[in-house]
Amino acid sequence: MADPPPDSATDAVSRLVERGETVSAAESLTGGLVAAALTAAPGASRAFAGSVTAYATELKRRVLGVDGELLAARGAVDAEVARQMACGVRELLGTHWGVATTGVAGPEPQDGQPVGRVYVAVAGPSGEPTARRLDLDGDRAEIRRESVQAVLRLLCGELLEKAGGQSTEHRGEEGCLQP
């Protein structure tokens, strides 16, 4: 019998603890579920700093530093908005890594985007932040759950990919400069 796949939150926290690094979360449609998943993992207190639930578009701009013109032009459900949210929370909370979720859980479309359209993003200590578009099926709860798992899988992938470039500097690096 094959081993079950690792829990993404436990895997992410374990990798962060091994590296001596921290993560923070900027959440919109997930409304705190990413933070809940991370804090449920053993060792979370050594790796998870906190989160910002910026459900309202204005908070994305005012608290997380997302460009207001970008929000006006494209709306909150956008890859670049997700990248800027991840960078913004990383800078705001002073962590090595920032993760973000933004999207439409339903029941109605938003900003011209269909239900199930989600963007997740990760910003790390070096390089450009990474964003992924998801087109999810299911009800509101399923879309939110899948969004949490997707951003945690993306974080784990980035931690693996950037395993050689461990930096303890975590403010103002290239790729996370606010406009």
Which two three-digit tokens encode residue 176? 């996370």
Does the pLDDT value for residue 174 go beyond 50?
A: no
**Domain residue ranges of the chain, discontinuous segments joined by +:** 8-161
| pLDDT, tens digit, 9 for 90 and up, residues 113-163 | 999 999 999 999 987 999 999 999 999 999 999 999 999 999 999 999 876
State the Cα–Cα distance between residues 19 and 59, nearest whole angstrom: 31
Helix, strand or coil for residue 102? strand
Q: How high is the pLDDT of residue 96?
A: 98
Inter-axis angle of helices 140-161 and 33-40, to 10 degrees?
60
Does the pLDDT value for residue 173 go beyond 50?
A: no
Mean pLDDT of all residues in 40-47: 97
Share of the chain above pLDDT 90, in %: 84
The string of DSSP codes covering 44-58 is GGGTEEEEEE--SHH
- Return the sign of the alpha-carbon dihedral for residues 129, 135, 137, 140: positive
91 near 178, Cβ under 8 Å? yes
8-161: which CATH topology?
A: Maf protein (3.90.950)
Mean pLDDT of all residues in 37-55: 97
Query: Following CA atoms 44, 47, 49, 52 in sequence, which dihedral angle do they give, to the nearest 10 degrees?
Result: -80
Does the pLDDT value for residue 62 go beyond 50?
A: yes
Mean pLDDT of all residues in 55-73: 97
Q: Model confidence at 169, in pLDDT bands (50, 70, 90)?
A: very low
Sheet holding 97-103, edge to edge: 48-53, 23-27, 97-103, 117-123, 130-135
